[in-house]
């Protein structure tokens, strides 16, 4: 059994930021991630960040991932890459297993497990893409926009020759532009809503590249026997129903789905944290307070697992959780109090825009009892 002060699950921006803050305070910290390469979504983000200098405006996400990793290693953060959590037991005892081949023997599997006895646990496993069901949605060539982004930006593999993008939020717009940069033709972006959901600056780049953005349109079906050979879309009316006679076919071999993300709450649920539904934050989330602590004392949540936002807020929430977890091990920490107040001010600034009202209200509401009812997952 390995004893640590803080165990962090997830080596994305929130997890690495949390680990850095814990290590800065001389505490033993281990960051676990099932992926072999740390950085989370940052390693796929080749575009430059917006915002202020303190939030690395003008720096590409891939470069931020490298900076965070270098800082974590310099501070002595222990990394367990290629390991996955399979149990969180009472008393913050966490069992992890290393990825092994399917034909590994029982003794080999047992040798590749480890148990951590932690004072606090920070859950930062990120988010998952929402699925969209339509006729032919299980054909090869239908994939999440994140999968396409991983192929082109991490593995340098084109997912296909012609793509139809479903969803004109920031993810759909950004991945469309990156597909174009990778030499892939994007036939169109379709969006069921009457207007795009992403930033106008991203949409303008797409339109300048000659890609049509069809609002008030939905996909009717994917065509093909074993893989995607085409896609049929249609205009929708005010009740979101396809308008008969408005169908239009695109010759594509890939259909990318970018219809939002939802927080990964499996570990929070496993740990016994109370979950509530917050549509503004992407769905079910672990109820947490202003210090990111859940209803299970000593278990914190940060980043997209605490609500779908931007990488900048994930970094800040990770820092906040890391400092709060350290404070839990001592009686007074005036320096930590000041740092927490500064982080919370920066979070308020990040959520201060005209389109962030729902997120601000949702985050405040999580500190109160209850949550809005959600459809069954």
pLDDT one-digit tens code per residue, 57-109: 678 889 999 999 999 999 999 999 999 999 999 999 999 999 765 666 666 66
- In the numeric block, which tokens belong to residue 242? 């396809």
Is the model's pLDDT at 368 over the cut of 60?
no
Mean pLDDT over the full length of the chain? 92
Question: What is the per-residue pLDDT across 223-234, written as a single tens digit (0 to 9) for each?
Answer: 999 999 999 999
Whole-number Cα distances in Å, 366 to 2, 277, 350: 33, 9, 18
- In the numeric block, which tokens belong to residue 89? 């037991």
SS3 state at 337: helix
Task: Judge whether 40 and 11 are in contact, CB under 8 Å.
Answer: yes
For residues 164-187, average pLDDT? 97
The domain defined by 2-128+262-365 folds into FAD/NAD(P)-binding domain (3.50.50)
How many whole angstroms separate alpha carbon 240 and alpha carbon 225? 28
> Considering the chain, what percentage of its residues have pLDDT values greater than 70?
90
Range(s) within the chain of domains with CATH label 3.50.50.60:
2-128+262-365, 132-259
How many whole angstroms separate alpha carbon 77 and alpha carbon 317? 18
pTM, two decimal places: 0.92
CATH class of residue range 132-259: alpha beta
């Amino acid at each position: 059994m390995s004893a640590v002060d803080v165990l962090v699950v997830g080596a994305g921006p929130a997890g690495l930021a949390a680990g850095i803050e814990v290590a800065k305070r001389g505490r033993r910290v281990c960051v676990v991630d099932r992926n072999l390469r740390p950085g989370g979504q940052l390693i796929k983000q080749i575009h430059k960040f917006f915002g202020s200098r303190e939030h690395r405006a003008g720096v590409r996400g891939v470069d931020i991932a490298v900076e965070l990793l270098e800082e974590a290693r310099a501070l002595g953060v222990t990394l367990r890459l290629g390991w996955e959590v399979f149990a969180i037991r009472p008393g913050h005892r966490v069992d992890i297993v290393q990825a092994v081949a399917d034909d590994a023997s029982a003794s080999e599997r047992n040798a590749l497990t480890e148990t951590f006895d932690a004072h606090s646990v920070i859950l930062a496993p990120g988010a998952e893409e929402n699925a969209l069901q339509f006729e032919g949605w299980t054909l090869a060539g239908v994939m999440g926009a994140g999968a396409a982004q991983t192929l082109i930006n991490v593995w340098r593999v084109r997912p296909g020759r012609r793509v139809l993008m479903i969803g004109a939020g920031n993810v759909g717009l950004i991945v469309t532009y990156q597909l174009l940069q990778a030499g892939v033709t994007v036939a169109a972006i379709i969006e069921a809503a009457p207007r795009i959901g992403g930033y106008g600056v991203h949409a303008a780049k797409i339109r300048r590249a000659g890609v049509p953005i069809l609002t008030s349109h939905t996909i009717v079906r994917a065509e093909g026997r074993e893989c995607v050979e085409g896609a049929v879309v249609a205009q929708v009316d005010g009740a979101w129903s396809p308008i008969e006679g408005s169908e239009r076919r695109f010759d594509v071999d890939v259909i990318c789905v970018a219809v939002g993300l939802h927080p990964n709450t499996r570990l929070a649920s496993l740990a016994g944290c109370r979950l509530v539904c917050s549509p503004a934050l992407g769905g079910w989330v672990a109820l947490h307070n202003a210090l990111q602590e859940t209803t299970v004392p000593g278990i914190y949540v940060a980043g997209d697992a605490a609500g779908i936002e931007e990488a900048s807020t994930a970094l800040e929430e990770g820092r906040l959780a890391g400092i709060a977890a350290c404070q839990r091990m001592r009686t007074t920490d005036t320096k930590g109090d000041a740092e927490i107040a500064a982080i919370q001010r920066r979070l308020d600034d990040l959520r201060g825009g005209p389109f962030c009202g729902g997120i601000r209200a949702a985050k405040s509401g999580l500190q109160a009892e209850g949550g809005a009812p959600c459809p069954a997952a």
